[in-house]
Amino acid sequence: MKFYLLSVALLVTIALAKKEKADKTFLKKQQSILKLTWRLSQANDDVEQAEISQNYNPLDNLTSYSNPDTVQTLFEAVNSGEYKARGEIFNLFAEEDRKQAVELFEVLHFAKEWDLFYKTAVFARDRVNEGQFYYAFMTAVLHRNEGFVLPPPYEVFPHLFTNSDVIRQAYKAKMTQTPTIIPMNFTGTIRNPEQRVSYFGEDIGLNAHHSHWHADFPFWWDSDKYGGPKDRQGELFWYTHHQLTVRFDAERLSNGLQEVEELQWDKPILEGFVPKATYKNGQEFPSRPDNMIFQDLPHITVTDMKHYELRIRDGIAAGFLKDKEHNAISLNNSDGIDILGKAMESSADSINPNYYGSIHNMAHVFLSKVTDPKNKYGLAPGVMEHFETATRDPAFFRLHKYMDFLFKEHKDYLVPYTREEIDFPGVRVDRFEVKTIIDKADRNNLVTYFDTDHIDLANAMDTSETAKDVEIKAQVSRLTHIPFNYEIEVSANSAATAVARVFLMVKNNWYGEEMKIEEAGWGAMELDKFSVKLFSGLNTINRSSVESSVVLNERKGYKQLLAAVEDALEDRGEYFVDKQQRHCGLPRGLLIPKGTSEGMAFRLFVIFTDYEKDIHADSFKSGRDSPHSYCGILGDKYPDKRPLGFPFDRKIQSWELFETENMKDIEITIKHKSLSKVDFSPEEISQIKSTWSVIRSDPTGNGVTLYLNWFQSLPETQKQFKRFSNITREQLSTNEAFRTQATATITRLDDIISSIDHPTEFCTKMKKLAGDHKFRDANTKNFRDMTNIFVEVIRKLTGKTLFTPAANSGWKKVFARLIEKIEEETSFTHGHIAKVQLTPDEMIAIKRNWEVIHQDLTGNGMDMYLHWFAAFPHMQKVFKKFAQVPRDQLKTNDAFKAQATVTLHWIDDMIEAIDSPSDMAAVMKRLGRMHQTRHTNIYDFREMVKRIQEVIGTKVGEGYTPAAESGWTKLFAKLVENIGDGLSEKH
């Protein structure tokens, strides 16, 4: 723990040293920029900007611009309505939309002088389509490189990051002027296996990262015209997406799903996708059913795409691509990947777009338009046509797997690295370990969990006299982990500067076989890259995960940012400018994959190489604290001279040939826990105590505030309190019964919080509190909402200085624990919940087996029935519809087929519910009830289930492990028990 504080303290010093205190001029600009992102589909409500918009016209000031012709063409076209109208959907992949947006970008980009830039932007904001305006404005702001911060894209355009359900509820809340937190569910249902990994593709931070990467490296960027360098843009295009792809596979394996397969032009797109989302203008995002086939588009056919692919493949195998002048440009060197990346994306720097097309960009369009290729139905653009929404669709990862395999084909042609290229003579890694900040004694075990986060929905809804601003947020669940530290011992023969590269690899493939480095290497996930000064002799290196070179640590919301700027403008606080301020970067929480509840094995790898040889020192130093691994350094060289992904970007022949002394590879596990099971860190405990001391100093006053906030957000909950259910909200604060209740709650919590550092006592008290609530009507959803509101109120009451991130996570854990206890108590009182006690191994084994059976529910179902009828022929008579059909004709009988399918769907429901005791109880209850009407007795049923299990065993072969056997046995025993109850209810 001590070390963690030390390393964080160090990090802060470095960060502060790099940051400068903002002066008033900067602050004023930053404030103006923020206001230009606010409520873009309505008139500008900022007085200063509204005035500029009225009085300034670029067309009257053409001489001020370095490119007057472009300015004139653009704004004349806007004035005469030739530009995309406001309110319409902006689609970067549509040529005309993009041309217009780039034109506006150009005007803003070349208006270098602030005043001109600002006035032009303000003028455009009111007149240009809001999507186009923001895209051009954001890209221009990012490329000014002045350290301006933009709000997260999910606050600028919440429609692109939420779903129709959330938006609908948000509108309702706005109409009734009720501050509300709306829980957002991931898209789809548990019947869709892809939903198990939707937390990754739908993570708001991941989508923000991905869209910002493309804004930092636009495929239309013309370096000659707009400046650069966009160093190694083609290679970075591969690498950033390669990392997304391998991360996605690691998430899949964490959830019992097989690695994603690549798209193929003449095979069906297996998974459909229903985004259930709407654009701000009310148009729906189109859906795609399963198994769609690619369709020709008006201006390009599937055959064209296959030809482009063939030319690329041919180039890869031949070792060169042909440029426009027919020169052969060699690929078989470290730069080959960059050339290939540019040609495949394709970016403006493609060496021959006519010949190689634009495989990647067009694939996005093909996927997006697959359900309405000829625009017969006028569907809106699909999620694949926006970088903000693309990763939601599982097909995104199939598409990028396809890209990735082509890149791999090229990399596989390169000569494997030699020992000399990998080694750092005189440097030896002696020890490598990783520990979470909570438990220093526990080596090499990392912990992930789901935490909640909020999206401010203010910009999702228009505001008017009757619908004023009121706080409405969407609440999302996001993967995160307990921060950890690497501890590395390195001995050096002489002093040197080294660069350390840390990677994580999945240990076993989906079949459970351990992967050799030859196979695992391509899936290496980069976790960090940092420099270290080595002294002669033994060096101990400590590095915290929060310093990682791949992640963006925190993103402040619009309101927080504006408040910080305004505080500094009025000398109430300080504001620091970071010139390397990035918006691209993997969200901190996603640094490591989820892992499994029983602990999933990974390989953690570190290699030290020579800083002097490998690094562009200037760009590395300036960008040291930014997420440069995936995002490079804007306007500068990529800091690492080695190929991206080194040393795992090339083929590895064997561990023996690969291993050198300057590397180490260890096995670690990643365990996934529920928030309530995650221990408090010492910092969280102390922050809970210090914030609580504020609340407990006035139990009645603060208790009243808590309850009033709760009732205001969820008015119906007041009804549960008989003694003051009918008192108007205005009168509540003077009502005796209400005040007593409020005080009692705080006193009760005080008792619990006082024992926060005594786990057993804390747990007992929590249990007691939960027990006292079990007879209330209050369901856990209610409690969940309440506790979120409580955390918010504690934040407000204690103020932002005291309410640190540790206080925030600490309180969330306190309430998560309470909810869990209440859930336990509630299920206990309802009694008779079919809690199947499966071990995590059994659960995984069952899920794996089921993946196999699931591929053909009908066929396998028929085999199960036939197997049963073979042992007990009389059982066929029970089924009237096919009682008389000879057994060898059953397979072609429709009624029999239907029966088999339905039965397997029931089992499928059970498997889907396997993680949730209450869902499982519901499925079993339904099954039990259904069988009351059947002429089955429990003995027959038991026999049948036995045959089902036997067939599963035969079908999955080796997958029928001892864990699988015991799991299925338990599951079916419980099922029989429940059906038995159903039958006995009848008899």
**Binding positions for ligand CUO, rule: CB under 6 A:** 210, 214, 241, 360, 364, 387, 390, 400
Cα–Cα distance, 42 to 428 (Å, whole number) = 61
Q: Output the smallest distance, CB 553 to ligand CUO, in A.
A: 22
232/428 with CB nearer ligand CUO: 232
Residue-wise over 91-105: b if at least 16 C-beta within 10 A, else e? Answer: bbbbeebbebbbbbb
Cα–Cα distance, 223 to 924 (Å, whole number) = 63
Q: Output the smallest distance, CB 135 to ligand CUO, in A.
A: 15
Q: Output the smallest distance, CB 348 to ligand CUO, in A.
A: 15
97/785 with CB nearer ligand CUO: 97
Cα–Cα distance, 180 to 757 (Å, whole number) = 33
DSSP 294: P
Q: In this structure, what token pair is assigned to residue 810?
A: 């600490």
Q: Under a CB-based contact definition with an 8 Å cutoff, are residues 382 and 366 in contact?
A: no
Strands 537-544 and 328-330 turn out to be unpaired
Q: Under a CB-based contact definition with an 8 Å cutoff, are residues 36 and 52 in contact?
A: no
364/392 with CB nearer ligand CUO: 364
399/793 with CB nearer ligand CUO: 399
Cα–Cα distance, 390 to 720 (Å, whole number) = 44
Residue 964's identity, in one-letter code, is A
Residue 870's identity, in one-letter code, is A
Cα–Cα distance, 843 to 196 (Å, whole number) = 14
Q: Output the smallest distance, CB 364 to ligand CUO, in A.
A: 6
Give me the residue whose beta carbon is nearest to ligand CUO: 390
Cα distances from 520 to residues 204, 500, 516, 828, 983, in angstroms, run 29, 20, 6, 45, 52
30/391 with CB nearer ligand CUO: 391
Catalytic entry in 194, 345, 385, 825: 345
Residue 82, C-beta contacts closer than 8 angstroms, at least 6 positions apart: none
Q: SS3 helix, strand, coil % of the chain, rounded to 5?
A: 55, 10, 35
347/459 with CB nearer ligand CUO: 347
Cα–Cα distance, 483 to 544 (Å, whole number) = 7
How many Å from the N-terminal Cα to the C-terminal Cα in the chain?
63
Q: Which of 386, 375, 358, 55 is nearest to 208 (CA)?
A: 386
Cα–Cα distance, 445 to 82 (Å, whole number) = 60
Q: Which of 432, 500, 509 is nearest to 665 (CA)?
A: 432
Residue 492, C-beta contacts closer than 8 angstroms, at least 6 positions apart: 426, 427, 428, 498, 534, 535, 536, 537, 539
Residue 514, C-beta contacts closer than 8 angstroms, at least 6 positions apart: 507, 508
Respond yes or no on whether the N-terminal peptide bond of residue 346 is cis (omega within 30° of 0): yes
> DSSP 3-state assignment of 94?
coil
109/398 with CB nearer ligand CUO: 398
238/424 with CB nearer ligand CUO: 238
Q: Give the relative orientation of helices 805-830 and 780-802 as an angle to the nearest 10 degrees.
A: 170
Count of residues making up the chain: 987
Handedness of CA 839, 186, 238, 144 (dihedral sign): negative
Q: Output the smallest distance, CB 244 to ligand CUO, in A.
A: 8
367/695 with CB nearer ligand CUO: 367
Q: Using CA atoms in the order 37, 39, 44, 46, what is the torsion angle rounded to 10 degrees?
A: -70
Q: Output the smallest distance, CB 214 to ligand CUO, in A.
A: 6
Q: Which of 539, 681, 804, 546 is nearest to 14 (CA)?
A: 546
Q: Output the smallest distance, CB 290 to ligand CUO, in A.
A: 22
Q: Output the smallest distance, CB 239 to ligand CUO, in A.
A: 12
Q: Give the relative orientation of helices 95-110 and 68-79 as an angle to the nearest 10 degrees.
A: 130
Residue 345 known to be catalytic: yes
241/555 with CB nearer ligand CUO: 241
Q: Output the smallest distance, CB 205 to ligand CUO, in A.
A: 15
Q: Output the smallest distance, CB 345 to ligand CUO, in A.
A: 7
> DSSP 3-state assignment of 672?
strand
215/814 with CB nearer ligand CUO: 215
Q: Which residues are part of the catalytic machinery?
A: 345
